Copies of this chain bind each other. A is one copy, B any other.
Amino acid sequence: MPDLFWPGDHRAGAAMTDAALLAAMVEVEAAWLDALVHAELAPPEAADTLADLVGPADLEAIAEGAESSGNPVTELVKLLRARVGERNPVAKTWLHRGLTSQDVLDTALILCLREVFDQLRREIDAQVAALAALARAHVDTPMVGRTLTQQAVPITFGGKAAAWLDGLLDAAEQVRVVAAGLPVQFGGAAGTLAASTEIARLRGVSDPAAASVDLVEAAAATLRLSARRPWHTIRGPFTRVGDALVGWCDAAGHIATDVATLSRPEIGEVREPAVAGRGGSSTMPQKRNPVLSVLIRRTALSAPMLGATLHTAAATAVDERPDGAWHTEWATLAALGRRTVVAASHLTELLSGLEVDTARMAATLAAAGEDVYAEQRSMVKVAEVEADRDAYLGISALEVGGATERAQEFLDARK
């Protein structure tokens, strides 16, 4: 599935593709059917893995059919019933019983997002390690600090990397929290699980409502997701996913903006890793464009609005299933998810091979001369004490220490 409109899109692999969503929907139906059978609400003969019933070849038909009901589940269930019916008529009867389209689609999206988080977290681990190494390596590399575009006072490149690292770890913690709590959606037609409860009642189960809750927990366990009460119109689970992904994109965008800026030839303090053919221009061979930064910035500039779309959908949810707000979430999550994974892969590559020109940093600082020590001189006047000039780097080394320690704790907690 090429995407000329988003170079590098292939790095996201199958994450949040049509095929992944299809597979996830089938997985959800299978987990529920399995729960029905194990709870003895459906007869044992209804058991079926639903394996090999549909595949990529069905995508086009399902996508087109999805228009009638407004979502792809109805069409998928029709197809699954027809095909499973040929090998297992009882499964045909029991498939999807008690569920509503939103249950299947929301849970499938969550499964797809889990894959996004898995990929993202692998990249984050690598980024944290790379940044910690950069920060440590340059704990004593002085450079000029810049505020409002102008040279201010000295900093160290290690301190700058430590700040990037702190930003990344802030985002990583949000990602970890959200990824750890991804929930299933099982509520039935209007969020009451009335159909499965009814079946339990008809089957003579003593506490039919509790049986429905058990079904949710069983299916959640199968899918390795959290159980929770239905959230058909409570869209926090998706807005929190969005906020966490956008938060990561912010951290990445900040780093990429810094790298693009410091890569300007007039500054020249860092360079993206050299890769044959990367960032070149056919007629301007001297150019070495910071392509990774540029592509990461592209994501960071668009992610906030994708997050805002999810929030707008949440804020306008109505009734027991929203009339359009729900439907706008799917492609928004897909775009946000894929773009984040692509940017994460780019950032790992960027950080892992970033070239730091410490000589250029030193030269710029030297050229800045006394100006960047003006504040230091003021302090001498304020303190009314003279002393030998020092590097005026303040807590830079402590910042590196603190951030890299935090990084280590983060990486240790992953194990």
Complexed CA–CA distance, A155 and B188 (Å)? 11
Answer whether A93 and B382 are a contact pair too, CB < 8 Å, given A155-B191, A308-B304: yes
Tell which of B2, B316, B319 touches A253, judged by Cβ atoms closer than 8 Å: B316
Does A121 lie at the interface of the complex (its beta carbon under 8 Å from any beta carbon of B)? no
Determine chain A's interface SS by DSSP, over half rule.
helix
Residue from A234, A315, A396 having most chain B Cβ neighbours under 10 A: A315
Does A64 lie at the interface of the complex (its beta carbon under 8 Å from any beta carbon of B)? yes
Does A171 lie at the interface of the complex (its beta carbon under 8 Å from any beta carbon of B)? yes
Return 22 A-B CB contacts under 8 Å, by A number. A4-B66, A145-B190, A148-B290, A152-B321, A153-B188, A167-B234, A167-B236, A192-B394, A194-B393, A198-B392, A199-B379, A240-B247, A250-B311, A250-B315, A254-B316, A257-B317, A284-B374, A296-B324, A298-B324, A302-B328, A305-B305, A331-B335
Q: Is the CB of A152 within 8 A of B254?
A: no
Q: Is the CB of B236 within 8 A of A171?
A: yes
Does A209 lie at the interface of the complex (its beta carbon under 8 Å from any beta carbon of B)? yes
Complexed CA–CA distance, A147 and B318 (Å)? 8
Does A306 lie at the interface of the complex (its beta carbon under 8 Å from any beta carbon of B)? yes
Q: Is the CB of A7 within 8 A of B71?
A: yes
A148: chain B residues within 8 A (beta carbon): 70, 279, 287, 289-291, 294, 319, 321, 323
Residue from A97, A286, A396 having most chain B Cβ neighbours under 10 A: A286
Does A15 lie at the interface of the complex (its beta carbon under 8 Å from any beta carbon of B)? no
Residue from A149, A212, A317 having most chain B Cβ neighbours under 10 A: A149
Q: Is the CB of B325 within 8 A of A301?
A: yes
Residue from A192, A251, A286, A324 having most chain B Cβ neighbours under 10 A: A324
